[in-house]
Amino acid sequence: MPAAETAPANASAVVPNDLEPYWMPFTANRAFKRSPRLVVRAKDMRVTTADGRTLIDAIAGMWCCNAGHNRDPIVAAIQRQAAELDYVTAFQHSHPAAFELAGRIAALAPGDLDHVFFCNSGSEAVDTALKIALAYHTIRGQGARTRLIGRERGYHGVGFGGISVGGIVPNRKMFGTLLAGVDHLPTTYDRERQAFTKGEPEWGAHLADELERIVGLHDASTIAAVIVEPMAGSTGVLPAPKGYLQRLRQICDRHGLLLIFDEVITGFGRLGPCFAAERYGVLPDMITFAKGVTSGTVPMGGVLVRKGIFDAFMRGPEHVVELFHGYTYSAHPLACAAGLATLDLYRDEKLFERATALEQKFADAVMSLQGLPGVLDIRTVGLAAGIDLAPHPDGPGKRGYAAMDEGFFRQDAIVRVSGDTIALSPSLIVGEDEIGEIVEKTARIIRAVG
């Protein structure tokens, strides 16, 4: 059976000698098990490998450790909660921290996004939002509104709803016909017109008008909701063009469609404000979130819902369940404790403001990689960057995979790859010196695989 190399005695880590039983997600399992990338400890923006090396984490775990790794106040809050209340059913019962966290999140959200439905991941958050949209139209007597509109190159998790409205081909092609009646807007990315853009591209707002074509094809009376990411992260950091989200909002209003922002990646400061909806001055009907709400420490996700949508469900006999949906671990006590402590850190250390202040410095630093061998495009927005590399002659994705391995094994840096795109998304605690280190190591990675 494949086995990891034994760690040196000073690594103080127990390394498994059998890697075979674990079927890893979104992973080339056979390649990984030949050369395992094992991490045993983390603190702030550094992780320690099983062989005792220290790496800089240039991707905040996976877009999620926005306050950094293993922060003492969050750890302490989780420990206290585990010692007091480990679990209580979320059905017909709850605990105080669930209501406190919901109130804190709603207070951070724009407009009348006043209600929070908790779940455990971004995938669950998306499927929850889609179900709320369908149910909302049904209880208002418009049950024919069943169509859902996503976008090409969009990522909305791995539930059947999420991959149906999502637009990343490998995530869809093995799983049959998915949900019926789903349509897609075109991607907002055009390299010829947008290459090497800092922030929102000038070109592309008109692509929102494709929604009018879709409405004309299906009729508004059949469409429930439109879901988009303000910045498409998993597909390679594609910021929305200037004016694009505003036009989507206008078209949705004109035809009575709900607009959902998937902010699983952009939520909690990745683009500066707590939610990207605030950055763009657009009020969606729902916002999905996860990742940064607990800085990645305990799984949690949720949906922010506008007051009018929530109120539409609060009718009929009071003893009857209004929405037949939920999860065993909704608003789990440990997740709520982690969330409250995380929000305290964001506030006390002014991390959202920090992200805004560093955006230009980060963009300038990453753009210095332009001109390196094989770099086709670079995009930055907030504290996120996508760097497109030319595909290897042996096939798409091979150069990206080599870049990930180069970073982990030789350059002491964790970078994320999607196909042949390198993504950078450091924690919001990043400083200018660490930005310089990340960019320098990324340059070495690109040269090595170029």
Which strands make up the sheet holding 258-262, listed edge to edge? Answer: 113-119, 301-306, 286-289, 258-262, 223-228, 147-151, 182-185
Q: Which residues of 77-88 are buried (b: 16+ CB within 10 A; e: fewer)?
A: bbeebeeeeeee
Q: What is the CATH number of domain 73-348?
A: 3.40.640.10
* Structure token digits, residue 227: 């879901």
Q: Which residue has the tokens 């065993």?
A: 328
d(CA 13, CA 137): 53
Residue 356 CB neighbours (<10 A): 18
Q: What's the half-sphere exposure (Cβ side, CA atoms, 13 Å) at 223? A: 28
Q: What is the CATH number of domain 9-67+350-449?
A: 3.90.1150.10
Q: What 3-state class would DSSP assign to 246?
A: helix
Q: Which helix (H) or strand (E) is 282 found in, with range?
A: none
In tens digits, what is the pLDDT along the chain, a chain of 450 residues? 344 443 343 444 667 889 999 999 999 999 999 999 999 999 999 999 999 999 999 999 999 999 999 999 999 999 999 999 999 999 999 999 999 999 999 999 999 999 999 999 999 999 999 999 999 999 999 999 999 999 999 999 999 999 999 999 999 999 999 999 999 999 999 999 999 999 999 999 999 999 999 999 999 999 999 999 999 999 999 999 999 999 999 999 999 999 999 999 999 999 999 999 999 999 999 999 999 999 999 999 999 999 999 999 999 999 999 999 999 999 999 999 999 999 999 999 999 999 999 999 999 999 999 999 999 999 999 999 999 999 999 999 999 999 999 999 999 999 999 999 999 999 999 999 999 999 999 999 999 998
d(CA 7, CA 304): 45
pLDDT number for residue 8: 40
pLDDT number for residue 15: 74
pTM of whole model > 0.85? yes
pLDDT number for residue 13: 60
Domains of the chain, residue spans? 9-67+350-449, 73-348
Residue 358 CB neighbours (<10 A): 20
